[in-house]
Amino acid sequence: MHHKITIEPFRIKAVEQIKLSTREARQQYLRQAAYNPFLLKSEQVIIDLLTDSGTSAMSAAQWSALMRGDESYAGAKSWERLEAVIKDLTGFPYILPTHQGRAAEHLLYTRLGGPGKIFISNTHFDTTRANIEYSGAQAIDIPIAEARRPDHIHPFKGNIDTLKLGQLIEQHGAQSIGAVILTVTNNSGGGQPVSMANAREVSRICRQHGVRFILDACRIAENAYFIKHREPGYEDKSYRAIAQEMFRLADGCIMSAKKDGLVNIGGFLALNELELALQCRTVLIITEGYATYGGLSGRDMEAMAVGLEEVFDPDYLHYRIASTAYLGNKLYELGVPIVRPVGGHAVYVDAQACYPHIPPAQYPGQALACNLYIEGGIRCCEIGSVMFGKYDESGKLIPAPMELVRLAIPRRVYTQSHIDYVIATFAELMQHREAARGLRITYEPPFLRHFTARFEPL
């Protein structure tokens, strides 16, 4: 391998056209989308960094596996294949297929949640928090203190504060804890990895108190990369072996295969408790589909079985993490304030530091997302007070801890010249950052408001 330049370790077999647009056209598109990039049409976007979820390019091996799809209602060969891959990877005996991660969350957290229940996590992802709160339970985030400091370098900034974890369990009583959820990598916390030592300590605390430990394993392969390269004792282990070791510390996991499963749709719930698995399976059959397909087609399950193995390929993982770091490091050199070190699947820009003159109540992250679109046709996602803000009794905004904008990198989709274009667009934006203005919300739904809220520039 040549060490100076990390190339994309694939050739392109099929291409998808990108529609280019003018700045004037984009201004109009954004106005029509009520200044919410989620409401744009994809053909109005040049580089789509809204999410890395379900946006992966499948490999030739995955496309050919689709033809093998067994579409039988029950006991399909494709299910056997997928179940075997997941069992071998996770070590859990009870596997429930779902159409995506949040369906697995819904099955599990409605069973474990309800009024009076508490869930504790390094950071609950937005759909995780929504599913928990929707059940009437409470979701508490306790990342380590370093995680709240965007420019502070720490090798495992995704770690949970294990001291607080023990205190919280004792304070609330083990019987009121629905689960402790470790999100790897920590998506909302900057795509930052969790160390094996931290997962081991969580496991120990949970076992000591008799509390359930669930892994949100959406990016377990990317997390394994960081462990191998940053945590002593893992240099010689394979990425897959590292992931297997982490799964075996937990009592179960949920996974959105739209991330490290390298597929466009799919997910699963895996558990080691028969009784709980049976309860979840009943709801699965009522809401998702029969227990051997759970809302997926046979071909989806085939692609997922292949993707869950491909993702641990060392050349792929090296390119994946190196290409995300390339974007982050170039932005940092330009003076763009970013969360450091750069995480696995995305670069998080500190919008508050970028636009210090825009207060949280005027949503600096949303303003940056809008300006990136107008300047370069780049779509990205606010992860700040639009996504996580709450209101107090007087209707005043309680801001999120950080005002971030996430540039999520779809897997195997964009080449380095696309990323260089994103960097050039930022260089342009940084020239006139003082002129940027905030926004106000004109419509919002009660849950997950960032998806459908409407805005107006101030």
Task: Determine which residue in the list 256, 323, 366, 385 makes contact with ligand PLP, applying CB under 6 A.
Answer: 256
Interaction between residue 187 and ligand PLP (CB under 6 A): yes
**Roughly what angle, to the nearest 10 degrees, separates helices 126-134 and 101-112?**
30
CA distance 326 to 6: 10
Nearer to ligand PLP, 187 or 352 (CB): 187
- How many binding residues for ligand PLP (CB under 6 A)? 15
Least Å distance between CB 321 and ligand PLP?
17
Least Å distance between CB 420 and ligand PLP?
27
Task: Determine which residue in the list 36, 55, 100, 323 makes contact with ligand PLP, applying CB under 6 A.
Answer: 100
Least Å distance between CB 218 and ligand PLP?
4
Taking contact as CB under 6 A, which single stretch among the options 35-43, 96-104, 285-293, 357-365 is the one that binds ligand PLP? Answer: 96-104
Least Å distance between CB 338 and ligand PLP?
19
Residue 450 backbone dihedrals phi, psi, to 5 degrees: -60, -25
Contact 207, 192 (CB under 8 A): no
Task: Determine which residue in the list 216, 288, 300, 403 makes contact with ligand PLP, applying CB under 6 A.
Answer: 216
Task: Determine which residue in the list 26, 157, 228, 258 makes contact with ligand PLP, applying CB under 6 A.
Answer: 258
Task: Determine which residue in the list 59, 62, 90, 128 makes contact with ligand PLP, applying CB under 6 A.
Answer: 128
DSSP 254: E
Nearer to ligand PLP, 304 or 358 (CB): 304
Nearer to ligand PLP, 386 or 429 (CB): 386
Nearest to 387 by CA among 67, 37, 145, 47: 37
Nearer to ligand PLP, 121 or 244 (CB): 121
Strand partners, 182: 215
Nearer to ligand PLP, 317 or 367 (CB): 317
Task: Determine which residue in the list 37, 69, 97, 101 makes contact with ligand PLP, applying CB under 6 A.
Answer: 101
Contact 100, 159 (CB under 8 A): no
Interaction between residue 102 and ligand PLP (CB under 6 A): yes
Taking contact as CB under 6 A, which single stretch among the options 125-133, 151-159, 293-301, 363-371 is the one that binds ligand PLP? Answer: 125-133
Contact 200, 141 (CB under 8 A): no
Taking contact as CB under 6 A, which single stretch among the options 22-30, 70-78, 121-129, 378-386 is the one that binds ligand PLP? Answer: 121-129
CA distance 399 to 364: 11
Distant-in-sequence, close-in-space partners of 65: CB < 8 Å, separation ≥ 6: 299, 302, 303, 305, 306
Nearest to 400 by CA among 415, 386, 411, 385: 385
Which residue lies nearest ligand PLP, judged by its C-beta?
Answer: 101
Least Å distance between CB 210 and ligand PLP?
25
The dihedral over CA atoms of 358, 361, 362, 367, expressed in degrees to the nearest 10, equals 80
Nearer to ligand PLP, 228 or 258 (CB): 258
What tokens were used for 452? 């459908």
Nearer to ligand PLP, 9 or 54 (CB): 54
Task: Determine which residue in the list 29, 109, 119, 125 makes contact with ligand PLP, applying CB under 6 A.
Answer: 125
CA distance 263 to 438: 36
Look at the alpha carbons of 333, 155, 49, 350 in this order and tell me if their dihedral is positive or negative: negative
Nearer to ligand PLP, 183 or 362 (CB): 183
CA distances from 426 to 328, 332, 362, 404 (A): 11, 11, 21, 15
Tally of CB atoms within 10 A around 432: 10
Interaction between residue 131 and ligand PLP (CB under 6 A): no
Identify the H or E element spanning 257: none
Nearer to ligand PLP, 409 or 441 (CB): 409
Per-residue binding string, ligand PLP, 16-55, x by CB under 6 A, is: -------------------------------------x--
Nearer to ligand PLP, 102 or 340 (CB): 102
Nearest to 120 by CA among 24, 212, 28, 217: 212
User: DSSP states of 344-397 as a string?
Assistant: SSEEEEEHHHH-TTS-GGG-HHHHHHHHHHHHH-EE-EEESHHHH-EE-TTS-E
Nearer to ligand PLP, 128 or 198 (CB): 128
Residues that bind ligand PLP (CB under 6 A): 53, 100-102, 125, 127-128, 183, 187, 216, 218, 256, 258-259, 267
